[in-house]
Amino acid sequence: MTETLDLPSDEKTGPRPKRLFIKTYGCQMNVYDSERMADVLRPLGYSATESVEDADFVILNTCHIREKAAEKVYSELGKLRQLKEARDGALTIAVAGCVAQAEGEEIMKRQPAVDLVVGPQAYHQLPELLTRTARARGERIGADFAPVDKFDALPATRGVDGVTAFLTVQEGCDKFCTFCVVPYTRGAEWSRPVAAVLAEARELAARGVREVTLLGQNVNAYDGEGADGAPSSLARLAFALAEVPGIDRIRYTTSHPNDFTDELIEAHRDLPQLMPYLHLPVQSGSDRILRLMNRKHGRQAYLDLIARIREARPDMAISGDFIVGFPAETDADFEQTLDLVRQVNYASAFSFMYSPRPGTPAATMAAQVAEEVARARLHALQALLTEQQLAFNVSRAGLTVPVLFERKGRHGAQAIGRSPWLQSVHVEDADHLIGEILAVEIERGQQNSLTGRLMQQKAA
Ligand code: SAH
Ligand code: SF4
Ligand code: F3S
């Protein structure tokens, strides 16, 4: 498609370098998508800038999950419009992601400064859209869900520069929890073929990546086509990825309890490359609320699953998501959530006040919970989760663990690495070890990180 592009160019200097600024909201999949948008635009001469003032092209990659996330987009667009006016229109503004999918037309109406709106399954068309908007403003695309076209069209190269990377293997959701917009913004569950995932993993490894996090809205529902033409499971995909030279660590997120198979549990027992950290949201500890949420599993099934996972991998750290103040949630329901949290003992977790989303069944349910009540519950839950996270981090002190050194720290020769449990580990005199996985003795655990000292020097 490149030949159809009419890029502004100067015959002596070649294409004028153009600056791209992408602001990413929401989940890791949006982070991945933002990187891929940069990959798509690089051949057109766009290079990344950290500052919006330098940008020729700004993309807001948006999130629709809660009202606050969606509203932020409009305030950001207001600021961009001023910048565009100050430059007499010399700024291209695109809205991508889940708000683009959910309310594309409204965006165009509310903010005429927006040049184009592109949904999560259509950003591979950005180059073509850009040339079209140069002629006619106000293009909107991406109402259909066919991730297969997108992945086929994305460039094989990835502009990663770190030692860890995201890799989307599955998109969409068929679960329809009653509070959630994702099935509407990301469409039906769809998995990339194993060969495509392996090819991307090899590309990442060639660029120095040692740890991949496989992404999917329901990543453990992965059923991409395998080499034999039959669907492969996430467990089998993990075993195949572990064979890719250079890929030493594998993570995946986000899992749904109902798609957690025995095979995947066994993979955690048998495959050392699978890291002992699992994000497994439950949302509530009350069976009554879980039913209203259409989670399709009960409290005990979740607890039993965690027990089986821990039996297979005793050092498994569990993380989760919680919603408080879901319609009709009583104090007794909330107590059940606190009780479940005490039983599981989370290494980390995210918790949110319920936010009614237009078009979802829960938004019109009776007995919406008052905001003050929900806020008080959120504080109580977060206090407990914060305490558990600190206790987990403190419990690592004294252990010697393999740390993947990721980046330079703030002071001196400090480096920051990742523990197997996804904690940041600060180590002095290690900034020459970026990209290495080395043994570190953990000296202290803090609320959000660990501090350790190097046990093993780099092998000569
Ligand atoms: N696929 C994942 C979660 C995707 S959304 C899963 O099944 O768990 C990420 C988190 O946002 C959810 O786990 C939930 O805790 C939160 N969330 C989703 N919709 C929400 C809403 N309407 N209000 C508040 N939190 C919400
Ligand atoms: Fe949303 Fe539920 Fe699907 Fe997760 S499983 S993305 S919470 S509908
Ligand atoms: Fe948000 Fe879309 Fe992710 S709604 S959480 S960016 S899938």
Residue 4 lies in a domain: no
Same-domain status, 382 and 404: no
Question: Nearest ligand, CA of residue 66?
Answer: 1
Q: Which atom of ligand 1 is nearest to the CA of 218?
A: 1
Q: Which residues line ligand 3 (CB under 6 A)?
A: 26-27, 29-30, 63-65, 97-98, 181-182, 185-186
State residue 10's pLDDT score.
44
Question: Nearest ligand, CA of residue 294?
Answer: 2
Same-domain status, 62 and 26: yes
Same-domain status, 439 and 366: no
Domain span including residue 73: 16-144
Predicted structure pTM score:
0.94
Work out the pLDDT band at 131, boundaries 50, 70, 90: confident
Mean pLDDT of the chain: 93
Task: Compute the distance between CA of residue 449 and CA of residue 200 in angstroms, rounded to an integer.
Answer: 30
State residue 17's pLDDT score.
83
Q: Which of 102, 121, 144 marks a domain boundary? A: 144
Say if residue 180 carries a ligand binding annotation: yes
State residue 5's pLDDT score.
46
Residue 228 lies in a domain: yes
Tokens of 112: 């005429």
Q: In this model, does residue 236 exceed pLDDT 90?
A: yes
Look up the CATH number of the domain holding residue 410: 2.40.50.140
Test site for ligand 2: of 27, 218, 222, 352, most ligand atoms within 8 A of the Cβ = 218
User: Is any atom of ligand 1 closer than 6 Å to the C-beta of 325?
Assistant: no
Fill in the DSSP letter of residue 55.
-
Task: Compute the distance between CA of residue 415 and CA of residue 437 in angstroms, rounded to an integer.
Answer: 12
Work out the pLDDT band at 457, boundaries 50, 70, 90: confident
- 407: nearest Cα among 388, 391, 430: 430
Residue 238 lies in a domain: yes
Name 15's Cβ contacts closer than 8 Å, sequence gap at least 6. 7, 8, 9, 44, 45
Name 19's Cβ contacts closer than 8 Å, sequence gap at least 6. 46, 47, 48, 49, 54, 55, 56, 57
Helix (H, G, I), strand (E, B) or coil at 455: coil
Residue 181 lies in a domain: yes
Residue 11 lies in a domain: no
CA–CA distances in Å: residue 40 to residues 37, 123, 149, 218: 5, 8, 14, 25
User: Is any atom of ligand 2 closer than 6 Å to the C-beta of 217?
Assistant: yes
Say if residue 302 carries a ligand binding annotation: no
Question: Nearest ligand, CA of residue 293?
Answer: 2
Residue 2 lies in a domain: no
Q: Is 231 exposed, middle or buried (0-12, 13-18, 19+ CB in 10 A)?
A: middle
Dihedral of CA atoms 363, 364, 368, 372 in degrees, nearest 10, equals 40
Task: Compute the distance between CA of residue 263 and CA of residue 450 in angstroms, rounded to an integer.
Answer: 32
- 315: nearest Cα among 387, 395, 369, 215: 395
Same-domain status, 271 and 362: yes
Which residue's CA lies nearest to atom 13 of ligand 1? 321
Task: Compute the distance between CA of residue 337 and CA of residue 75 in angstroms, rounded to an integer.
Answer: 35
* Largest distance between two CA atoms of the chain: 73
Same-domain status, 306 and 168: yes
Mean of pLDDT values over 430-448? 97
Dihedral of CA atoms 273, 277, 280, 281 in degrees, nearest 10, equals -150
Mode of pairing for the β-strands spanning 14-15 and 18-24: unpaired
Residue 460 lies in a domain: no
Same-domain status, 409 and 307: no
- From the CA of 97, how far away is ligand 3's center (Å)? 8
68 sits in which H/E element: helix 67-86
Q: Which of 347, 378, 395 marks a domain boundary? A: 395
Same-domain status, 305 and 425: no
User: Is any atom of ligand 2 closer than 6 Å to the C-beta of 256?
Assistant: yes
Q: Which atom of ligand 2 is nearest to the CA of 174?
A: 3
Same-domain status, 272 and 219: yes
Q: In this model, does residue 267 exceed pLDDT 90?
A: yes
Look up the CATH number of the domain holding residue 245: 3.80.30.20
Look up the CATH number of the domain holding residue 84: 3.40.50.12160
Which residue's CA lies nearest to atom 3 of ligand 3? 27
Q: Which atom of ligand 1 is nearest to the CA of 256?
A: 7
Tokens of 7: 């890029």
Domain count, the chain: 3
Tokens of 88: 């007499």
Which residue's CA lies nearest to atom 14 of ligand 1? 321
- From the CA of 175, how far away is ligand 2's center (Å)? 6
Residue 195 lies in a domain: yes
Question: Nearest ligand, CA of residue 27?
Answer: 3
Neighbours of 432 (CB within 10 A): 11
Same-domain status, 160 and 75: no
Work out the pLDDT band at 442, boundaries 50, 70, 90: very high
Test site for ligand 1: of 71, 180, 318, 346, most ligand atoms within 8 A of the Cβ = 180
Helix (H, G, I), strand (E, B) or coil at 207: coil
- From the CA of 82, how far away is ligand 1's center (Å)? 33
Same-domain status, 34 and 157: no
Say if residue 177 carries a ligand binding annotation: yes
Q: Which atom of ligand 1 is nearest to the CA of 177?
A: 7
- From the CA of 47, how far away is ligand 1's center (Å)? 33
Same-domain status, 408 and 386: no
Name 24's Cβ contacts closer than 8 Å, sequence gap at least 6. 30, 31, 34, 61
Q: In this model, does residue 399 exceed pLDDT 50?
A: yes
User: Is any atom of ligand 1 closer than 6 Å to the C-beta of 323?
Assistant: yes
State residue 11's pLDDT score.
44
- From the CA of 392, how far away is ligand 1's center (Å)? 24
Q: Which of 121, 144, 167 marks a domain boundary? A: 144
Same-domain status, 264 and 412: no
- From the CA of 69, how far away is ligand 1's center (Å)? 12
Report which of residues 10 and 433 the model is more confident about: 433
